Chains A and B, each alone.
Chain A
């Protein structure tokens, strides 16, 4: 059985973990979705921006958290730095899937929309985004699930979350502590994955 003191702490860190992920995902989506749409309109920006997001993904997460600490304003110890790092990680799948989803709209459909006199805004909101929605959602889904995992490392820079147990458990060679962090994190990931898959089914064309 799980001791009550641990249960209470688990509830609190799970809450912090969800908070970190939600804030990071909200910011990443707020940046990534409009930027992805912009990339469909400005081909010249694709290579540099996707390149930047790619490079961010290649930096090992622990190293990225470390790199950010000395940077003024966004750095330091704590949640803010962790959120910046999580946003940088989440950006690539969101950007790439928004771009791929919109560019994947059939040429004849896009041409019809233009030829029938849709404005640029109508083309985007009535045709491109609804048809790209499953791909865009898949990007958000990947980003969310990986962010839930990566957020465990945020504990290393004092941002809290379920990683607290994992780092403590490793330091004290205590499997119970490691599992107290790992199991809720895995459940969160499964839960959000299932949630996204439900939404994806709802928005796909009947």
Chain B
């Protein structure tokens, strides 16, 4: 199933993408277009291929067949370093650098891109405040001194730091307690509405998908089952969609 956007150029596109590991077909002829400024949620069970699809967008994985296009250019044609520095990436395990302070963690991509130090410092302070952490208090701390929720806030700030054109989230709030989880979802929504960045968000939680997505793509065994807005998704009739909706 594909959506053909009226005429706007897609920010991202999966074109006949398959991915094979050994004899297993992880992604099976995936076709998807994501318009600029939208939030697409990739929903599915474990092993449905959603994380695999996500990792193709920043060149951590490459399709066995078909093409993944970022700004109309195949990821195989991008300078990978340049591509990755223009994409924010947030994962469930957060992956902060334990030997860097919070300030150094957030300022990493700007530093890699060669921003001057005063601009980095200003940006880091601004971001910490935006994700709800007092910058004076947290700047010099190390990741292990923070709670799980605080760490993931830093993870989000780090992804936003170098003003990326695209944000990728891989079950970022999956390891958090339910209250913190909702707080961070709210944060995500307010950042989404403020910056209108194209975002791809992987989750297995249908509630989270309905809350955060402008579109929901349901993957099942590497195939796209449903692509719909949240309002239409709740009316889906397919067995996999109903299985997910029954968890509500």
Q: When the two chains form their complex, are residues B112 and A106 in contact, meaning their CB atoms are under 8 A apart?
A: no
In the bound complex, residues from chain A placing their C-beta under 8 Å from that of B60 are 111, 114-115
B233: Cβ under 8 A from any A Cβ: no
List the A residue with the shortest CB-CB distance to B168: A115
CA–CA, A206 and B145, complex, Å: 10
CA–CA, A107 and B93, complex, Å: 9
Within 8 A of A (CB), among B67-119: 80-85, 87, 89, 91, 93-99, 108-109, 112
In the bound complex, residues from chain A placing their C-beta under 8 Å from that of B83 are 117
Q: When the two chains form their complex, are residues B95 and A117 in contact, meaning their CB atoms are under 8 A apart?
A: no
Most chain B CB within a 10 A radius of its CB, from A111, A115, A116, A118: A116
Q: When the two chains form their complex, are residues A116 and B99 in contact, meaning their CB atoms are under 8 A apart?
A: no
Q: When the two chains form their complex, are residues A117 and B81 in contact, meaning their CB atoms are under 8 A apart?
A: yes
In the bound complex, residues from chain A placing their C-beta under 8 Å from that of B144 are 205
The one of A106, A109, A116, A206 that contacts B89, using a Cβ cutoff of 8 Å: A116
Size bracket, chain A contacts: 10 to 19
Q: When the two chains form their complex, are residues B94 and A116 in contact, meaning their CB atoms are under 8 A apart?
A: no
In the bound complex, residues from chain B placing their C-beta under 8 Å from that of A206 are 142
In the bound complex, residues from chain A placing their C-beta under 8 Å from that of B152 are none
A169: Cβ under 8 A from any B Cβ: no
Binding site for B on A (CB under 8 A): 106-109, 111-119, 122, 127, 130-131, 205-206
Binding site for A on B (CB under 8 A): 58, 60, 80-85, 87, 89, 91, 93-99, 108-109, 112, 142, 144, 158
Given contacts A109-B96, A112-B94, A205-B98, list 15 more A-B pairs with CB under 8 A. Answer: A106-B93, A106-B95, A108-B93, A109-B97, A111-B91, A115-B58, A115-B60, A115-B84, A116-B85, A116-B109, A117-B80, A117-B83, A117-B84, A122-B112, A205-B99
